[in-house]
Amino acid sequence: MLVLGLETSCDETAVGIVDEKRKIRANIVATQFEAHRPYGGVVPEIAARAHLDKIDDCVRAALKEADTNLDSIDAIAATCGPGLIGGVMVGAMTAKAIAAAKNKPFIAVNHLEAHALTARLTHDVAFPYLLLLVSGGHCQILLAKGVGDFQKLGGTIDDAVGECFDKSAKLLGLGYPGGPLIERAAQGGNENAFKLPKPLVGREGCDFSFSGLKTALRQIVEDSENLAAPDLAASLQKTIAEILADRVANALKMIDTKPTALVVGGGVASNQKIRANLAALAAKNNLPFVAPPPALCTDNGVMIAWAGLEHFRLGQTDPLTFRARPRWPL
Ligand code: KG4
Ligand code: ZN
């Protein structure tokens, strides 16, 4: 069984192909960083246009990499939300067109579920597992009980954690995309140089808040004449890693079923400091810690193909009338 997956919800045009034996047959990612860099962030109109320019070539490249053709593909999956709607429509329409032309089943994939299920492709994790989903637009703790079956335990009350990384990087003059640049800058810095606030830490529940942290950082940047960017980047990274671990620790106390593992997913999950803190927390709780390789944490087509395959093998497909949606809670 081969499933083709298209991802176009943000600033990555990506196409993946996976099979039911959990083998990645193709992974094509065309980033748009250069197109958005002059603006310091993703411009939705530029993104949509770039997806349109690149998606056909990406599909062709994926088929070539997998040494296959559309006739041999069993189902076509595409991100149908949540995300920047212009981009989501490009991927969804392309996938529907292929499905219609080749008379193949179509699967509308929720981008968040794709991040959530990636660990089952890379590590074969069984349900239920506790999941920290951290990306540019989302920050949630979920109990993953089954395909299409997620219980939300906590979420952010203001910014997503990736947003905090991105806005902070901008403040520090590091550029875009912020997360990887902060991680790189932090390598040369002292993580104990600045004491930053940890909103909600120590409080009950497992919600998140990052806006106070961003404001504190802005204050430091504005107040200092000779800013040691690496020190501030390292301190920010450490603070965020501690916030995330504190919230997940609470979530572990909140659930009454024992999860099979602590899983992390989404672009921010590629951060090594965050992974280390979560791994330590998992070890303390006698749980396996599962983190997909960084390239499968940030947006990619493989995770869409895999989420599509998980639904497809349960007999779940979607009509071609399924609409792309900017919002689509899990
Ligand atoms: O999952 P993703 O690729 O796209 C969304 O679905 O949002 O996540 C992108 C986010 C961005 O905010 C980016 O700065 C962040 O993930 N990110 C990182 C790292 N790599 C990407 N944050 C911290 N450390 C990283 N190494
Ligand atoms: Zn994502």
Residue 110's pLDDT is 98
pLDDT, residue 40, reads 84
Shared domain check, 173 and 44: no
Same-domain status, 103 and 175: no
Answer whether residue 67 is part of any domain. Answer: yes
Percentage of the chain with pLDDT > 70?
100
Res 177: pLDDT: 87
- Which residue's CA is minimally distant from atom 22 of ligand 1? 179
Distance CA 304, CA 290 (A): 19
Q: What spacing in Å lies between the alpha carbon of 161 and ligand 1's midpoint?
A: 9
Query: Which pLDDT does position 166 carry in this prediction?
Result: 95
Tell me, yes or no, whether 92 and 201 share the same domain: no
Q: How far is CA 169 from CA 66, 101, 172, 174, 258, in A?
A: 37, 44, 5, 5, 37
Give yes or no: residues 139 and 285 share one domain. Answer: yes
Contact partners, residue 251, CB within 8 Å, separation at least 6:
130, 141, 153, 154, 206
Does 20 reside within a domain? yes
Q: Please tell me the predicted confidence (pLDDT) of residue 43.
A: 94
Domain containing 40 — which CATH number? 3.30.420.40
110-166, pLDDT tens digit by residue?
999 999 999 999 999 999 999 999 999 999 999 999 999 999 999 999 999 999 999
**Residue listed under structure tokens 């089954």:** 146
Q: What are the structure tokens assigned to 321, written together?
A: 């009338």
Give the pLDDT confidence score for residue 276 in this predicted structure. Answer: 98
Task: Grade residue 41 by pLDDT with cuts at 50, 70 and 90.
Answer: confident
Q: Which atom of ligand 1 is nearest to the CA of 298?
A: 3
pLDDT for residue 2 is more than 90: yes
Q: Is 231 found in the same domain as 149?
A: yes
Q: Which of 4, 115, 114, 22 is nearest to 62 (CA)?
A: 4
pLDDT tens for 154-211 read: 999 999 999 999 999 999 999 988 999 999 999 999 999 999 999 999 999 999 999 9
CA of 266 to the centre of ligand 1 (A): 7
234: enclosing H helix or E strand: helix 229-254
Answer whether residue 122 is part of any domain: no
What pLDDT is attached to residue 78? 99
Q: What is the pLDDT, as a whole number, of residue 185?
A: 97
Nearest residue by C-alpha to atom 16 in ligand 1: 267
Please report whether residue 212 resides in a domain: yes
Query: Across residues 47-68, what is the average pLDDT?
Result: 98
* Same domain for 143 and 267: yes
Mean of the pLDDT values across residues 34-52?
A: 93
Does residue 106 share a domain with residue 166? no
Are 158 and 260 part of one and the same domain?
yes
- Together in a domain, 210 and 173: yes
Report the separation in Å between the CA atom of 264 and the middle of ligand 1, taken as the mean of its atom positions: 13
- Total count of domains within the chain: 2
Same domain, 66 and 132: no
Same domain, 27 and 153: no
Of 316, 296, 299, the residue nearest 75 (C-alpha)? 316
pLDDT at 176 (0 to 100): 86
Nearest CA to ligand 1 atom 7: 136
Q: In the beta sheet, which residues pair with residue 12?
A: 31
- Look up residue 61 and give its amino acid: A
The runs of H, that is alpha helices, within 80-210 are 85-102, 111-122, 161-171, 178-186
DSSP letter at 37 equals G
- Does 207 sit in the ligand 1 pocket, CB within 6 Å? no
| In a domain? residue 326 | no
What global pTM score does this model have?
A: 0.97
Q: What is the pLDDT of residues 276-305, one digit of tens each?
A: 999 999 999 999 999 999 999 999 999 999
pLDDT score for 324: 98
Q: How confident is the model at residue 213 (pLDDT cuts 50, 70, 90)?
A: very high
Is 265 near ligand 1, meaning CB less than 6 Å away?
no
- The pLDDT tens digits of the residues spanning 302-315 come to 999 999 999 999 99
Q: Pull the structure tokens for residue 162.
A: 């990736």
Residue 148 in any domain: the answer is yes
Residues with CB under 5 A from ligand 2 (ion): 135, 299
Average pLDDT over all residues of the chain: 97
- Looking at residue 265, its pLDDT comes to 98
Residue 163 and residue 93 in one domain? no
Backbone region of residue 267 per phi and psi (left: phi > 0; alpha: psi in -120 to 50; beta: other values):
alpha
- Domain containing 73 equals 2-116+296-312
